[in-house]
Amino acid sequence: MISILDYGAGNLKSVVNAFRYLGCEVEITNDAQRLMQSQAAVLPGVGSFGDAASCLEKSGLWQPVLDYIAGGRPFLGICLGMQLLFQESEESPGVQGLGVFPGKICRIPDGEGLKIPHIGWNSLDQKIGTGLLRGIPEESYVYFVHSYYLHTPQREIVSACTQYGVTIDASVESGNVFGAQFHPEKSGQTGLLMLKNFADIAKNGTNR
């Protein structure tokens, strides 16, 4: 069972539909006990960093998410859900993220010809070929919707980058934890393969 976490700040339907299309058993839950019983968990996210952090705390899932990650089972953060894995964001000064990894979420700088928010398809410069990216061709295109981006000093966890005025850390991977700034559930066959990779990790217990 893959748990899709409903904490009041996630776009759940498209994520659930994508996993079900792949034949995966999924459930939407805001129950900590159900989370702890699942093989894998997904944290989607839409809206602002501060609102999402507040919703996660009020839902009672903040500490269970940290406990789940510490327990070693596969965990995937999508878009704002990935950003929440880090320490802080320029979008919401003074608000702390989960702090699973070091890093700050920064606003995409205004630039000539660039529209903010960044909405559309960008190619990935892959750094790691395991985890979500196993079997994904180089420079594959995925779908982004965001105004803020990750830059982490822990460069070894960055599995792919993209360019949109600046270098954006587009996905991360470390042990059992994965993150995607883009939306794999909206990224066609490439995104479906990524979600299948995640489901396989949950089933087989390895990302290699």
Is 185 in the active site?
A: yes
Check if the beta carbon of residue 83 is closer than 8 Å to that of residue 105: yes
Those residues of the chain that have pLDDT short of 70 are 205-208
Q: Which of 79, 88, 161, 173 is catalytic?
A: 79
DSSP state of 144: E
As given in the structure block, the two tokens for residue 121 are: 């398809």
Q: Which of 24, 88, 173, 183 is catalytic?
A: 183
Is 151 in the active site?
A: no
Upstream peptide bond of 109 is cis (omega within 30 degrees of 0)? no
Check if the beta carbon of residue 87 is closer than 8 Å to that of residue 132: no
Can you say how many angstroms the Cα of residue 171 is from the centroid of all Cα atoms in its chain?
Answer: 7
Is 79 in the active site?
A: yes
Three-state SS string over 192-206 comes to HHHHHHHHHHHHHCC
Check residue 207 and give its pLDDT: 52
Residue 143 bridge partners (DSSP): 121
pTM confidence score: 0.95
Count of structural domains, the chain? 1
Check if the beta carbon of residue 198 is closer than 8 Å to that of residue 180: no
- Domain encompassing residue 114: 2-204
Residue 34: CATH number of its domain: 3.40.50.880
C-alpha separations of 45 from 8, 21, 84, 204 in Å: 9, 21, 9, 26
